[in-house]
Amino acid sequence: MRLYLASNNEHKREEFSLLFPDYEIVLPKDEGLSFDPVEDGSTFIENALIKAEALYDLIGMPCIADDSGLCVKAFGGKPGIHTARYGEEGGNKLSDREKYTLLLKNMEGIKERDAEFVCTMVLIVDKHNKYVVEKSVKGHITEKAEGLNGFGYDPVFYNDEALNVSALLSSEEKNTFSHRAKAAAAIKEILEKEKDAIWREMNRR
């Protein structure tokens, strides 16, 4: 069964394919659709809804979206919804390595290093049924980067549940202990309950 993902990121497609192995993950660009909604919400939930609703308006089919980020206690929960654009306020583009290196620099001398990764997922089955799930995983920002697995801020985030730096976790471990994996597990339960409705929507096309 197909599941449309509100993203054009191939890395995210790969990750969602692992999280939802019973579904073929389809991106808007696969259908030749232009998809670039303005994520101007003030919370993860608002931004995930913006993406999911924008895609549903385009295709009228069951779809899923997520919004996630790193919330650092010493920074009042920032970068939060701006995690993907951290350090880019001046318009300059930064690589993942440059972003987490900047984070480490900005945290030099700070003893309070608690942080959490948050993931919100939205599933739209049809115009009357929308589901929102938000999960998080707690940890702290390390003093230095470690590991090559994962992406984003994984090399500087110590996952308290996994008892390791996220970038040192295997794919199997990440699919157990990550914030996105936790949200996906909850969405999969909903998908199971709604599979008949999803099948009907898919066959309308």
Active site residues: 67
Distance of CA 70 to the CA centre of its chain: 10
SS3 55: helix
For 37, phi and psi rounded to 5 degrees?
A: -65, 150
Whole-angstrom distance, CA of residue 184 vs CA of residue 178: 10
Whole-angstrom distance, CA of residue 105 vs CA of residue 18: 33
CA distances 41 to 5, 50, 70, 123, 165, Å, are 19, 8, 16, 17, 30
Contact 115, 180 (CB under 8 A): no
Q: Which residues contact 2 (CB under 8 A, 6 or more apart)?
A: 23, 24, 26, 61, 202
CA distances 1 to 20, 82, 143, Å, are 11, 33, 44
